[in-house]
Amino acid sequence: MTDSPRIGAASGPARKQRLEFDMDLLVGYILLIGVLLSLALVLAALIWKWILTRTVDFDYQLSGMNFIQLLTSELRLAATGALRPRLLLTLGILMLMLTPFLRVLVSMAYFLVGLRNWKYTLFTAFVLVTLIYSLCLR
């Protein structure tokens, strides 16, 4: 347990405190909804596949495409109305990958607009740019 922590009522400007707490809630819900949505997409893909073919085994590959290429090609397919179980499964995987990315994006907006903390806006921007680079890898 703690040895000699400073314990007492929360201090600091009330507005900043409230903003931080709102931020925690927002970040928490982004993570929760992102993961649940992704799991729901994977589950829906499996159920749909089973209804169509009485099997839940998918035999396609995701080769040689990065996140952005995969997303655009799948969305293009979806736009043509070619909805298939495998489209939902791929979207589920992509949604999962998008979840931490969205969390970083919202954190940057928070440091920039909410706190006007340039230091952390810069740090978060670095993380964001590195992630964008990794999602666009070839």
Q: Give the separation between CA 53 and CA 36, rounded to whole angstroms.
A: 25
User: Buried (b) or exposed (e) across 114-127, using 16+ Cβ within 10 A?
Assistant: eeeeeeebeebeee
Q: Give the separation between CA 33 and CA 25, rounded to whole angstroms.
A: 12
Nearer to other proteins, 78 or 86 (CB): 86
Q: How far is the CB of 15 from other proteins (least distance, A)?
A: 16
Q: How far is the CB of 102 from other proteins (least distance, A)?
A: 10
List of residues contacting other proteins (CB under 8 A): 1-10, 21, 23-25, 27-32, 34-35, 38-39, 42-43, 45-46, 56-67, 70, 86, 89-90, 92-93, 96-97, 99-101, 103-104, 107, 111, 117, 119-120, 123-124, 126-127, 130-131, 134-135, 137-138
CA dihedral for 23, 28, 31, 33, sign (positive or negative): negative
Nearer to other proteins, 12 or 81 (CB): 12
Q: Give the separation between CA 38 and CA 125, rounded to whole angstroms.
A: 25
Nearer to other proteins, 76 or 126 (CB): 126
